A and B are shown apart, each in its own frame.
Chain A
Amino acid sequence: MWRYIGYRVVLFIPTTIAILLIAFLLSRQTFDVDTAESWLIYDGIDPNSVEGNKAYEREYKLQNLNLPLFYFSIIPAHYHPNLNSIIDRQDRKILSSLQSEGYRCEDVLTLLEVRKNLLSTLNYRIIPDSILQALNFAESIHDFQAISSMLNYESEQAQTLNGKFHKTIQKMEERKVHFISPSFVWHGIKNQWHLWSINMLNGNMGKSIKDGRKVSQKIWNAMRWTLILLGLNLIFTLIISIPFGIWSGLKTGSWFDRLTQSFWMMLYATPVFWLASMLIMYFTSDRYGTWMDIFPVPGLWHTEPNQTFWSFLKVNSHQFILPVICLVANDIAFLSRVVRNNVRENLNKRYTKVAAAKGLSQTLVLVKHVIPNVLIPLVTIVVAAIPAGLSGGLIIEVLFNIPGVGRLMYESIQTQDWNVVFSILAIISLAVTLFLLVGDVLYAFVNPKVSIDE
């Protein structure tokens, strides 16, 4: 048993790393596009302004976006060793597309430099708008070639620079790489993944772009709600599904069994959001008949100043009725079925038959032998159902205006508050893994025969 527990605990480490890695990779994919810019908007700066460019550079460095992604990289030899260190987004884009076409990164950098010089010397009084516009927004090699042919017969003032522009493009073409050879670049620990994961493990998840609060604080505030919802959901599901499951298991095939099982199946087949919408629409007001005014209207949280969380919950407890009903309706089917099948299996086992043969009453057999054997494995099943419960909770939180993690996640995705989104992703997954670990360890105590192979 101890060996099993030790094995589980050791396995927790690679799982943690894998989860963090997934969250990190996903976050970089989006970060690369607009984190720095989002922070500008947070700072009250219009990204489309001259000041915006300066501030973009500052934010970009502040967010460590200029560092390489990982400890090392394997890239073609003619590539830039660290593309992230190019701060200007347009330059980065041009460089990345041109080097993938086989142009050497040094050459592309010279071209970008020349272009910058050209743009600062030329202005719309010297050359026509259209050329300036093209130069400003040129991206592909064809654009650049077209501009260099256009520039040729324009004003004399920029003639020397034009010549340089021309030459650079020619040189680029000459030095184009035709065979790609790999090269290994070692970046060391100063990379985004290292810094990010260390911060994450220290609980330092940064600030929210939306309101400047600490991400950890935001998640904790929201987590309380989700945990309450999850707890209520589990409790009510168990309260309902265990007796129904046991009864169905005892009388498999009876009208009661068939009726309840198909009823739960129907509830399971009803989409949660559909059920929720229907309940809100028709059963919270007397619009369609007085008898239909069954539930309190959800979505409003009464808070008084200086209220503790628990007294707040007491006042607002009725707000949980509808969401919990929707969640429970979906989960009963699964759990009651598990209980039912377990009861049936146990009834067919030898020890129950022996016990019955010994003259024990049916109730006693049930209470002493069957129920414990049914309920103990339920621990793992209930723990394993937590991720599903969280998933179901997300949509319920959005629909019923519950400020839990799910709604936070949903709203943060909508406002592209990526710091929050991927922190939630990592934390929720880690928490669930931890839960599963605890569940497994508990199960090992209850059932010491469990082995690694299982």
Chain B
Amino acid sequence: MNSWTKIPLDVKLAMIILLGIFILSILAPLLAYEVRQDSNAIIVPLIPYGPNTIDVKNQNYVGPFEYQLVYSGYFRHWLGTDKLGRDIAAQLIHGTQTSMIIGFLSVLLALIPGVLIGLIAGFKGDKGFMFHWVTAILTFIFSCTFLFYLLYLPVDVWVHLVLIIAYSSAMYFIIGQLNTYLLNRSYVGFHFPFDSILMRMVELRKSLPAMFILLGLLTFFSHSGIISLTFTIALLSWTEFARFTRGEVINIKKESYIISAKTLGFSDIRIMMRHIFPNIIPTIAVVTCFAFSGAILLESSLSFLGIGVPIESVSLGMILAGGRDLQAWWMVVFPGIMIFIIIFCLNHIASYLQES
């Protein structure tokens, strides 16, 4: 890893801008909320409007440089208003927050399983898991009953959930012990092709056009919402994490220090966490950057088409879509620039990481 001083200036700049946008989106509720004109509050926000505050006096698209009917300069709409008279600046800040939340959560949801699976698949390969046929059958039957009770027991009683999970983890542990015991006695077993299965899933995902699948998957949720959108994007992007992690792990596995660690008899988990994981962080960082910008682009495209984010929460794509029909340039330019900056910075950092 390079130290901070070695990083070129433009990448530093991109990082700082991204950090700024990140802070802006975290602080969104503090930066823009509704303030009444007669309020005597001492602490006032940067923008005295919430994202859905309707200013009746400035409806029907008032531009930033046009005459505005406002109480004082503080209440001016610096980036104009939309059709209903909502402040674009406030919407922009909150929209960035929505985009960031979706980007962040979907990356997180994809990263954890993706990296874990990739790590295991890369390290263990197809020959890493051996099953005795008795335990294989036992696992199958037990998994079926486990899924059955998970599905049909009323989950709103949380005791049920805890019981199921505790019981099943105990069972899986016992089965695992049984497996090692049986395998030690006789070698009648088969390998579980973990790696091949993962690669088939990766291939399947690669052959599906994201936008079509996303539209198809979103019909699965009766209510459009940030959660469902995040979940679907994560479902589509975890394979990328798994794929790159796996590739990198396979490369590192051949290094002499891993082989020596193995001969020293370190446990697999220790080797994976202590020796391999730190070395794949740069790769994960690159994929993360691309996945983040991809998620933000997908979200804004979907909101632009009118699918995805519910109308109460603002998103950058929604502001854009609102301004497209009429030529309210301030509703097209500002969110457009915001999306552009986020994605450009992310990609710039990613390509720098990729090269170094």
Contacts and interface: CB of A to CB of B under 8 A. Distances in A.
A182 B147 CA distance: 11
A115 B348 CA distance: 67
A398 B212 CA distance: 13
B148 A182 contact: yes
Report whether over half of chain A's contact residues are helix, strand or loop; otherwise say mixed: helix
A452 to B, nearest CB: 10
B177 interface: no
A182 B327 CA distance: 62
A289 interface: no
A30 interface: yes
Interface in A260-281: 265-266, 268-274, 277-278, 281
A122 B343 CA distance: 66
Contacts of A371: none
Interface in A8-23: 11, 14-15, 18-19, 23
Contacts of B178: none
A182 B152 CA distance: 9
B216 A277 contact: no
A287 to B, nearest CB: 9
Given A391-B209, A432-B209, A425 B216 contact: yes
Nearest to A30: B219
B209 A421 contact: no
A97 to B, nearest CB: 11
Nearest to A421: B216
B301 A272 contact: yes
Contacts of B152: 75-76, 100, 180
A266 B301 contact: no
B336 A274 contact: yes
A329 to B, nearest CB: 13
A346 interface: no
Interface string B307-327: 100000000010010001001
A272 B297 CA distance: 9
Contact of A23 (B200, B216, B297, B300): B216
B108 interface: no
A300 interface: no
B69 interface: no
B154 interface: yes
A269 B208 contact: no
A429 B213 CA distance: 9
A435 B109 CA distance: 30
A266 B344 contact: yes
Contacts of A11: 200, 203
B348 A265 contact: yes
B211 A391 contact: yes
B344 A29 contact: no
B212 A391 contact: yes
Given A19-B204, A75-B152, A428-B209, A273 B327 contact: no
B304 interface: yes
A74 interface: yes
**10 tightest CB-CB pairs across the interface, nearest first?**
A391-B211, A269-B344, A390-B209, A269-B343, A433-B207, A387-B209, A394-B211, A274-B336, A391-B209, A432-B207
16 contacts: A15-B207, A269-B344, A269-B347, A270-B340, A271-B300, A271-B339, A273-B320, A274-B339, A388-B209, A406-B212, A418-B219, A421-B219, A422-B216, A429-B208, A429-B212, A436-B206
Interface of B: 144-145, 148-149, 152-154, 200, 203-204, 206-213, 215-217, 219-220, 293, 297, 300-301, 304-305, 307, 317, 320, 324, 327, 332, 336, 339-340, 343-344, 347-348, 351
Interface of A: 11, 14-15, 18-19, 23, 26, 29-30, 74-76, 100-101, 180, 182, 265-266, 268-274, 277-278, 281, 337, 384, 387-388, 390-392, 394-395, 398, 406, 409-410, 413, 418, 421-422, 424-425, 428-429, 432-433, 436
